[in-house]
Amino acid sequence: MNLKALLFADLRRQYNVAGQVDKPLTMFGLLKTSFSPRFMPVVLFRLSHWLLQHKLSPIAKIFALTNFILFGLEIAARCEIGPGLYFPHTQGTVIGANKIGENATIYHNVTFGAREIDLDYSALSRPNIGDNVIVGAGAKVLGAVTIGNNARVGANAVVVEDVPPGVTVVGIPARIVKQV
């Protein structure tokens, strides 16, 4: 998917979450949503990721730093994230996952990352998050774990083992409390 298509998919998701599914994308609505603190961090990440893919790492780092300074969102430009990314709030969030699927909803103070210091950003030590996953405020997903499609991670849960598709996990360490 190219940068433009990703951004439009992210923007459409913003409209869907806001309950404006049937409303057309007007110029005013587009501008209003584009500068929202829920959407602008996504734009900055997409630009950072695109720049990194095009071997413009120093500029990518500037966009990543801007995201951190303005929105409190530390997100690795190397992370592969599918379309429809949504942050209801961003402060204190650290995204160091290997891959995040489509339509992910990630609340504030969430951490995705390695269990140990990993300066090389090894895919073997990073989480993989499926499609349509919701991660509640303060949750931590650590290590080479997989969160299955349509799973939910409750607020403040600490995930250190794989989570099957379609379940809800809570607690420290996270355990399944609801299966679909």
Give the integer Cα–Cα distance in Å for 160 and 157.
10
**What domains can be seen in the chain, in order of their start residue?**
3-179 (2.160.10.10)
Annotated catalytic residue: which of 49, 54, 89, 108?
108
Is the per-residue pLDDT at 21 higher than 80?
no
Q: What is the pLDDT of residues 124-167, one digit of tens each?
A: 999 999 999 999 999 999 999 999 999 999 999 999 999 999 99
- The pTM (predicted TM-score) of the whole model is 0.90
What is the phi-psi region of residue 19: left when phi exceeds 0, alpha when psi lies from -120 to 50, beta otherwise?
Answer: left
* Known catalytic membership, residue 54: no
Enumerate residues 6+ apart whose C-beta is below 8 A from 44: 63, 64, 66, 67, 70, 71
Q: Give me the pLDDT at residue 144, please.
A: 96
Q: Give me the pLDDT at residue 62, please.
A: 97
Is the per-residue pLDDT at 105 higher than 80?
yes
Enumerate residues 6+ apart whose C-beta is below 8 A from 134: 104, 105, 151, 152, 153
Q: What is the mean pLDDT of the segment spanning 65-91?
A: 95
Is the C-alpha dihedral spanning 66, 68, 71, 74 positive or negative?
positive
> Token digits for 85?
């990314």
What is the phi-psi region of residue 78: left when phi exceeds 0, alpha when psi lies from -120 to 50, beta otherwise?
Answer: alpha
Give the integer Cα–Cα distance in Å for 28 and 155.
34
